Structure 1
């Protein structure tokens, strides 16, 4: 793909790498004002942002040396967007595009400027990241914190605080008061005690990511120089998956950019809001349009799903938003038979056998690979995997539970970790005969880690020589995949020594806290060892590591942003959806997300042994309204 380094006149600029964009998408790409873009599933949200970055950088609308900041909810989304911009832009332009998660952005601010916080709110530089749950908050409120002063309240007042809302409403519910809470309520007193304990009373400061977000907002509120530096740095801000933005994240962006010349593009789909349990705002789009004067712009095309699936999706969408506009499918249907059906099975074992046989037949008929399919479940993926895995193995298709953990890391998250991706790229380079693609990936990654710019030809040549020499050395030392955990970990450590541990931490600061890097490397070593079982060669072991030939099993939440030829949702019953009545809107949004991962087919399975379908009758009614039929399979 040709990418331009010279400046293009705005009127002469054309979309890069695609035939065309829909009219509204092109308006957003060229816009000079704040926009809130409502883009349904398959609308090409990532492509829209990549094209906007290309336009801004190539036309000089984002003038050097100013940069573009893109903030995503998930790390793989941030990585994917950065990769697309590199494909569409000359490296001199792409080098001015910063793509990261909200958590990484907030953490980078605390790591750079955190010591400028007032003493009450200042974490120690070597703070540790924690992931507290309801039980931790319950123990704190009812056991650890003690009795508040009489002027504040009683122990009974603390017991009256709902554990599930303590973090959301009290600990991080609103911007931190510079001098602490004056005349605190019992809840505010408890929140302040947890803040002070976490920051000052242990061997290290311990902070969750929501706490880091609140500290970052306070930091920029009380340090105009740091805030102004960010305003000067970034001419444009992109916010992806905006429907999942939390109040913490929104307040941080508001503190930095409200009233500035930074142009903001917020993209998402209010029908795919499935993170309210993780503190997502109820309606961030309305808040954004009000505060930033965002111009609401809908996208109508669906480039992912067939016309029949888009028709059914619209029925589901109207249950979430009565004003939802029917999207236009830009993809042809390629399968015979039903695009969507419900299969009722007599037993889970019959279900597993029939699904494995179906996938095997579909792969043959349509020349598909295992990763063109996904098995989705609502929760407890390991329970489903225990029954499904043997049946798929018998059919000659490995099944992989990507919701499972390897060591201390979830498998799906391990595969998205920068350290894991870099290790695999270097092993691919060293052990693949025609390694051109891996060579480019490794060269670019190492250049970024070492601060070598694209136009430093001598330094790039030295880097290429080092990479070449190291690949030969690595192959000589490890001609075959590891047969023990110790050897697998030694490979990780050897590659890390070549990359440079401190360089990796400098570029990816999360690896500098709480031993996270070693946890990732340990998990990578365990996974590499498991992937090498049976004395296979390096290419096969690395294919197994990445799951190239395995059908993935994952939860709905982890499927967000992904797409597959066929989606098989296992377990559409009350047992899996036991909490449906607690928040029907979010549960229906989760159902919508699962459905819209599919390009050509969606299957739902039901087995009476796992539960009735009374509580989720609403979902079955929606499918029936869309004309989806049920078939009994014994």
Structure 2
């Protein structure tokens, strides 16, 4: 206990040391929830509440979050690091299926189809059942959501048939048959199939309960129906202690199936006691007051009261509302302020700054201005794997080698070769590449040389050539890191697919550059300086969202998340003239959510 008291505040100590009851902790941004989780895990082993070979299971949503937790646990306790499993929901599902997937007819070396392979499988299924005018990408997303919402393929098909949608039901059935014939699963299967197996073979739950005596679920507000159901089927009513951490104010993924109502369900299912962490160690007090002003107007919150600022209040207001006339001025303002902050030593490096927008289109003008000013900047996407034609060829060829009997995987390689401009996109012959003596990274290098991918860049201009060559080199470097964990080709291929999945998050960028990113991508990050662009009417919230609706409240939470990324300085930017999607200039009022903030809490700037 004394060690906890040295590392944690009193509220955090209480949560890290309360080990006998199920809890749901409502933790605000910057409140030290990761610190609580990691110290709790270490404390479980230190107090011998959990003793090897029993283990602790920690489940979170992104590889980045899981890696951060594992690293922190390793620093605190070697035993806890060795005997705790911290992973994403999808990784847990993959591990489960590797051990028990045979109960659904899966081989141990099953492959995970990414969106592109899912689209190919779906097109083949559509041809089989005579389904015309198929939007493959949109349908893949719809199928994933449908399966996750109902908990299984069979339940989704049944629901479609009951509602009279016979043809879509036939399409999903045919699509599922194609996946199984290729010993493949999609991302929703990684959660739905374990749920189906556990419900049919409940003894497996008891096996896992004996292994995992304590379970910690991070970001409970982001769980969808099948994720909560999976935890419920595994641990409800058992001796396993379930510890959930959530922030209802950061629930911003309903479009991916997340259900904020799961928090109330969690309390009921596990008879959990609600607790809270309200101290904020991240934000300057003036920024925290702005965040409170916005989120306290939210409808139906479980949390009550304001956050407690732990940083000293020097009386300075560091939150700004900025009104600019056009996009060019928006970019110039961001560049000018960054240079000024650097000159005044308010930031020590460029990567202390992030610029957030709804999408890349809202960041382009800023990127142009930063480039003009000579300020290094980089766009952070949601996945670590570069999206270039050559990298796509390397990745798809590697997957095909991992699953040599999968004809769809071979077709995808040829499709990517065509996109990369290969003179003979039928050049891919699997038998020339498969070499059992080669480790995954060695095979990757062989693929690159065999297909002559570097030579495809010869006709490109120098800048594009360097960018795509760098992407291949970076991908190889990244694969070297993955290969330290996944040494055989099937597991290496599965891990790459999971790492590239949009749910998995991106690791922190190590380059010293201003980070440009979408607001959704920014969740989980923190920066000394945050600029939020496009706080304009009909953009934030979106034009088709009705005031007072749940969609409107999610937009409120989205802005709140972006505000609470800021440690020292916050700039909220409204642009009076912004192009529409068709490129026509249009005058726009400030975002209603920007106006929902008490304007007395903001320094107001008109630029230029």
Question: How far apart, CA to CA, are the structure 1 residues paired with 2:499 and 2:228?
Answer: 32
Question: How far apart, CA to CA, are the structure 2 residues paired with 1:585 and 1:487?
Answer: 42
Aligned equivalent of 2:567, options 584, 587, 599: 599
1:289 aligns with 2:263: no
Alignment-derived partner of residue 343 in structure 1: 322
Aligned equivalent of 2:250, options 264, 272, 285: 272
TM-score (norm. length: structure 1): 0.70
2:545 alignment partner, SS class: helix
1:120-157 per-residue CA deviation (whole Å, 9 max, x = no partner) reads xx57843332338999999899987458xxxxxxx9xx
Alignment-derived partner of residue 369 in structure 1: 349
1:15 alignment partner, SS class: helix
Question: How far apart, CA to CA, are the structure 1 residues paired with 2:160 and 2:186?
Answer: 26
Evaluate the alpha carbon distance shift between residue 313 and residue 564 of structure 1 in structure 2; reply closer, same or farther with a 3 A threshold: same
Alignment-derived partner of residue 102 in structure 2: 115
The answer to whether the Cα contact below 8 Å between 2:537 and 2:588 also exists between their aligned partners in 1 is yes
Aligned equivalent of 1:106, options 79, 93, 114: 93
1:581 aligns with 2:545: yes
Question: How far apart, CA to CA, are the structure 2 residues paired with 1:169 and 1:552?
Answer: 31
1:513-563 per-residue CA deviation (whole Å, 9 max, x = no partner) reads 49749989xxxxxxxxxxxxxxxxxxxxxxxx9443101000111111111
1:116 alignment partner, SS class: helix
Aligned equivalent of 1:83, options 61, 71, 83: 71
Gap regions ≥5 residues in structure 1 = 1-11, 148-154, 418-481, 521-544
Evaluate the alpha carbon distance shift between residue 348 and residue 115 of structure 1 in structure 2; reply closer, same or farther with a 3 A threshold: same
1:14 aligns with 2:21: no
Question: How far apart, CA to CA, are the structure 2 residues paired with 1:598 and 1:500?
Answer: 32
Identify which range, 311-320 or 224-233, moves more after superposition: 224-233
Evaluate the alpha carbon distance shift between residue 216 and residue 132 of structure 1 in structure 2; reply closer, same or farther with a 3 A threshold: farther
Matching of residues 323-342 of structure 1 within 5 Å: 324-333=304-313, 338-342=317-321
2:188 alignment partner, SS class: helix
Matching of residues 56-455 of structure 1 within 5 Å: 56-89=44-77, 91-117=78-104, 122=106, 125-131=109-115, 145-146=129-130, 166-167=142-143, 170-176=146-152, 181=158, 184-186=161-163, 193-201=170-178, 204-321=182-299, 324-333=304-313, 338-365=317-344, 366-379=346-359, 381=360, 383-403=361-381, 408-409=386-387
Q: 1:629: Cα distance to partner?
A: 4.4
Q: 1:17: Cα distance to partner?
A: 6.6
Evaluate the alpha carbon distance shift between residue 188 and residue 130 of structure 1 in structure 2; reply closer, same or farther with a 3 A threshold: farther
Alignment-derived partner of residue 561 in structure 1: 524
CA RMSD of aligned residues (A): 4.1
2:594 alignment partner, SS class: helix
1:622 aligns with 2:593: no
The answer to whether the Cα contact below 8 Å between 1:315 and 1:626 also exists between their aligned partners in 2 is no
The answer to whether the Cα contact below 8 Å between 1:220 and 1:255 also exists between their aligned partners in 2 is yes
Count of aligned residue pairs for this structure pair: 509
Identify which range, 321-330 or 366-375, moves more after superposition: 321-330
Q: 1:83: Cα distance to partner?
A: 0.9
Question: How far apart, CA to CA, are the structure 1 residues paired with 2:577 and 2:160?
Answer: 55
Evaluate the alpha carbon distance shift between residue 97 and residue 188 of structure 1 in structure 2; reply closer, same or farther with a 3 A threshold: farther
Alignment-derived partner of residue 450 in structure 1: none
Gap regions ≥5 residues in structure 2 = 396-464, 502-507, 580-585
